[in-house]
Amino acid sequence: MLAMILPFFLIQVPSVSATTITEAIIEVSPNQGDITTSIFVHVRGEPYDVNGLFGGYVTAKADYPRLYLYYDDKCIIQRMDCVTAPGVGDYSNYWSSWDVTISVPNEYPYSELGVHHITAVIEASDGTTANTTTIFEIVSYIPPPEWWEDLPQDFLDKITGPQGDQGPKGDTGPYPVEALILNFSLASISVVMSLIALVKTYRVK
């Protein structure tokens, strides 16, 4: 009887020495905006829940999977730790979840108008990976700073218009108290030095 039950347990109970990832889910909010938009990204790795007596994975804390997040082909998150369900002792029921806020990289071509891809890649400790992709659409374009620096001067002159005449000089503002004190101190030192010089000259004569 024992010989029949033991193989059943060996098959149904996953190993605690490594994690296995089979699927990934990603959600973003909002899914439209520009480079100033804060994008909330929620990623979930499956199996992320435990159903029944042997319905999930059991894993050690050191073996939790890690998240890599890409905006188009640019990696913006590397090896991010997941949030995991509370467990007993050194082990937890296996599921994985990540919450992160990102923004559009303000550089070409990532800030161009149109549809861009946000891809989550989950890497498990046993070498398995799962990835999922969603989209974010840039609906208004704000050029990056270097774009303005590279514009020809004649074009800048056209879009800014001719420079007007210089306006009249404004009234002189109130003299700062600190400046008055400093000037008075310098003047006093100058007078004292002049008096010392006169006294020395008089003694020589």
Tell whether the model's pLDDT for residue 2 goes beyond 80: no
Could you read off the pLDDT of 63-108 as tens digits, one per residue? 678 899 999 999 999 999 887 644 434 444 456 789 999 999 988 8
What is the pLDDT at residue 12? 38
Q: Which residues pair with 72 in a beta bridge?
A: none
Q: Which fold has domain 11-147?
A: Immunoglobulin-like (2.60.40)
Helices assigned H by DSSP within the chain: 2-12, 145-149, 153-160, 177-204
β strands within the chain, DSSP E: 23-29, 32-33, 39-46, 58-60, 66-71, 74-81, 91-93, 96-102, 114-123, 129-138
Domain extents in the chain: 11-147
- C-alpha–C-alpha distance, residues 119 and 130, integer Å: 11
Residue 140 buriedness (CB in 10 A; 0-12 / 13-18 / 19+): exposed
- C-alpha–C-alpha distance, residues 142 and 67, integer Å: 29
Residue 190: which pLDDT band, with cuts at 50, 70 and 90?
Answer: confident
- C-alpha–C-alpha distance, residues 118 and 192, integer Å: 75
Task: Fill in the DSSP letter of residue 24.
Answer: E
The mean pLDDT of the chain is 74
What is the pLDDT at residue 92? 47
What is the pLDDT at residue 47? 56
- C-alpha–C-alpha distance, residues 74 and 156, integer Å: 31
Residue 152: which pLDDT band, with cuts at 50, 70 and 90?
Answer: confident
What is the pLDDT at residue 42? 94
Q: Which of 32-41, 71-80, 179-188 has the lowest mean pLDDT?
A: 179-188
CA distances from 181 to 6, 127, 176, 187, 194 (A): 94, 74, 9, 10, 20
- Give me the amino acid identity at 18: A
**Comparison of pLDDT for 5 and 145, the residue scoring more:** 145
Residue 195: which pLDDT band, with cuts at 50, 70 and 90?
Answer: low
Could you read off the pLDDT of 106-119 as tens digits, one per residue? 888 999 999 999 99
What is the pLDDT at residue 45? 82
CB–CB of 19/126 below 8 Å?
A: yes
Residue 127: which pLDDT band, with cuts at 50, 70 and 90?
Answer: confident
Tell whether the model's pLDDT for residue 173 goes beyond 50: yes
Label residue 72 left, alpha or beta by phi (over 0 means left) and psi (-120 to 50 means alpha). Answer: left
| Proportion of the chain above pLDDT 70, given as a percent | 65
Task: Please name the residue that has the structure tokens 């990934």.
Answer: 24
CB–CB of 125/19 below 8 Å?
A: yes
